């Protein structure tokens, strides 16, 4: 049981507080309800670029990292299709430093043109490293483009469609993005560590209470535009072995079938005990080197992902059929037993408990749960509401859903 309290400031900032006297540290997590889903196709990657710009100096603090390091703290951040998250950890005695830094960049950035120039270069290099110079690095570009309508923001990865979009971001774009999305009424602040509630609330009011609310840009997403029939895609690149990937549309976060899909992928690929590894790799004919399943879950319809690395001689169609057969088995009566289902719930409960022993992870999880309007202590129970019948029904529906089947093949070696 995680004890926590919540409140909302007059400017709309939602706060969740967890007092943990077992540590001498404190984590401060700020989760902004903005991500790549708020971009347009003509300027992609700006959500991720902006994550970097948030460290480029705010109105009263020119050097975020320097101030935090001087207070014996560290930090990190990440951007998803749906959210942008910033977190820092430092000794509880220096709690005010964290609140000062986070509140100042929530109030306003410095909008330093040099910071934009530097961070554009950093993000472009990251794009090259992740997408152009890494095996399978452009996989999600091809897969998402085949699955979603071109104008839907899930049709491109968070890092963006192409480096040129990052280079095209102007100072005016940065200002517009900040004032349209970065505001107390579009964020959740989570605190976890050795800070008593009353002290924490007083200091939060002091540092964040006078930041003005802002008008948040409305989010108008187009239809997902999922395929009306199976779509087959081939990609090629300098990769060590062929890869077969299947993407099947699934329901958004918070729906019963979202949790059922999560359970299905756990049944299929929970390590070496998962049925995909056992049937396709351990007991297979040697053509499949590795196989896995996961969900790319999101606030709007995401997708179930199957993938298998294969030998050069493997037939991609047969590999895809073998993966779908594992899903087909789950739709058959008697294949998923109450015992087998309970094992997945036990794994989930263990992972949830162990993860939240860490005050840093706990702060983020509290922030996300609060943004969803959920209770972190109900997370395991939400997962356990999935029944055997729900698994069977969803497996059958996924099988009948038009899907993208992508084959990523190695480019021929020019020396042979």
Per the domain annotation, does 225 fall within a domain?
A: no
CA–CA separation, 228 and 241 (whole Å): 30
**Phi and psi angles of residue 192, each rounded to the nearest 5 degrees, phi first:** -140, 120
| Model pLDDT for residues 341-356, shown as the tens digit of each residue | 999 999 999 999 999 9
202 and 327 co-located in one domain: no
Per the domain annotation, does 415 fall within a domain?
A: no
Burial (CB count <10 Å: 0-12, 13-18, 19+), residue 378: exposed
Burial (CB count <10 Å: 0-12, 13-18, 19+), residue 105: buried
Per the domain annotation, does 374 fall within a domain?
A: yes
Domain count, the chain: 2
Strand partners, 7: 15
244 and 391 co-located in one domain: yes
Q: Which of 405, 44, 13 is nearest to 184 (CA)?
A: 13
Per the domain annotation, does 311 fall within a domain?
A: yes
Average pLDDT for runs of 10 along the chain of length 416 = 97 98 97 98 97 96 96 97 98 98 97 94 96 96 98 98 96 97 98 98 98 96 97 96 98 97 94 84 93 96 98 96 97 94 94 96 98 97 96 98 98 64
The confidence score (pLDDT) of residue 414 equals 56
Judged by DSSP in three states, 356 sits in coil
Taking every pair of C-alpha atoms in the chain, what is the biggest distance, in angstroms?
71
| Model pLDDT for residues 14-69, shown as the tens digit of each residue | 999 999 999 999 999 999 999 999 999 999 999 999 999 999 999 999 999 999 99
195 and 270 co-located in one domain: no
For residues 264 and 330, the answer to whether their CB atoms sit within 8 Å is: yes
Tokens of 275: 């049925």
Q: How many CA atoms does the CB half-sphere of 407 hold within 13 Å? A: 17
What residue has token string 């396709």? 280
What residue has token string 């490293």? 129
Q: In what order do the strands lie in the sheet with 231-237?
A: 231-237, 404-410, 243-250, 302-310, 288-296
Q: What angle do CA 48, 53, 55 make, to 5 degrees?
A: 115
198 and 245 co-located in one domain: no
What residue has token string 């077992």? 22
The confidence score (pLDDT) of residue 84 equals 98
Per the domain annotation, does 295 fall within a domain?
A: yes
Burial (CB count <10 Å: 0-12, 13-18, 19+), residue 381: exposed
Q: CATH no. for residue 66? A: 3.30.830.10
For residues 185 and 13, the answer to whether their CB atoms sit within 8 Å is: yes
Looking at residue 225, what DSSP letter applies?
-
CA quadruple 361, 366, 367, 368: dihedral sign: positive
Per the domain annotation, does 115 fall within a domain?
A: yes
88 and 167 co-located in one domain: yes
Per the domain annotation, does 222 fall within a domain?
A: no
DSSP notation for 160-209: -S-HHHHHT--HHHHHHHHHHH-SGGGEEEEEEES--HHHHHHHHHHHHT
172 and 301 co-located in one domain: no
The confidence score (pLDDT) of residue 270 equals 78
Burial 161-190 (b: 16+ CB within 10 A, else e): bbbebbeebeeeebeebbebbbbbbbbbbb
141 and 237 co-located in one domain: no
190 and 310 co-located in one domain: no
The confidence score (pLDDT) of residue 412 equals 77
User: What percentage of the chain carries pLDDT values higher than 70?
Assistant: 99
Tokens of 86: 């910033």
Question: Residue 36 belongs to what domain range?
Answer: 5-208
Tokens of 161: 């469609």
200 and 132 co-located in one domain: yes
Per the domain annotation, does 221 fall within a domain?
A: no
């Amino acid at each position: 049981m995680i004890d926590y309290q919540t409140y909302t400031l007059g400017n709309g900032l939602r706060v969740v507080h967890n007092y943990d006297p077992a540590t001498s540290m404190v984590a401060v997590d700020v989760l902004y309800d903005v991500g790549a889903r708020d971009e347009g196709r003509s300027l992609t990657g700006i959500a991720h670029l902006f994550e970097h710009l948030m460290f480029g100096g705010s109105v009263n603090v020119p050097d975020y990292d320097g101030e935090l390091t001087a207070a014996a703290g560290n930090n990190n951040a990440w951007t998803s299709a749906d959210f942008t998250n910033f977190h820092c950890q430092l000794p509880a005695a220096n709690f005010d430093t964290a609140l000062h830094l986070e509140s100042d960049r929530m109030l306003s950035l410095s909008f330093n043109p040099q910071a934009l120039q530097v961070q554009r270069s950093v993000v472009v290099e990251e794009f090259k490293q992740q997408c152009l110079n890494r095996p399978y690095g452009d996989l999600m570009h091809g897969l998402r483009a085949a699955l979603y309508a071109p104008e839907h923001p899930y049709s491109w990865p968070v890092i963006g469609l192409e480096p040129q979009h990052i280079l095209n971001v102007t100072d005016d774009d940065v200002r517009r993005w900040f004032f349209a999305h970065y505001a107390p009424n579009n964020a959740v602040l989570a605190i976890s560590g050795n800070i008593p509630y009353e002290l924490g609330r007083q200091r939060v009011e002091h540092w964040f209470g006078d930041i003005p609310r802002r008008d948040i840009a409305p989010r108008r997403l187009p239809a997902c535009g999922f395929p009306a029939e199976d779509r087959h895609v081939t990609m090629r690149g300098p990769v060590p072995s062929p890869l077969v990937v299947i993407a099947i549309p699934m329901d958004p976060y918070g729906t019963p079938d979202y949790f059922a899909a999560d359970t299905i992928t756990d049944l299929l690929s929970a390590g070496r005990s998962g049925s995909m590894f056992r049937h396709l790799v351990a007991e297979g004919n040697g053509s499949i080197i590795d196989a896995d399943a996961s969900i790319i879950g999101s606030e709007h319809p995401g997708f179930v992902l199957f993938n298998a690395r294969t030998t050069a001689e493997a037939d991609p169609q047969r590999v895809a059929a073998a993966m779908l057969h594992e899903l087909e088995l789950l739709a058959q009566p008697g294949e998923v037993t109450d015992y087998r289902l309970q094992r997945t719930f036990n794994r989930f409960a263990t992972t949830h408990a162990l993860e939240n022993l860490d005050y840093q992870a706990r702060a983020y999880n509290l922030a996300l749960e609060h943004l969803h309007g959920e209770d972190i202590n109900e997370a395991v129970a939400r997962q356990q509401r999935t029944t055997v019948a729900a698994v069977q029904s969803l497996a059958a529906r996924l099988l009948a859903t038009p899907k993208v089947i992508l084959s990523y093949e190695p480019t021929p070696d020019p020396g042979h």
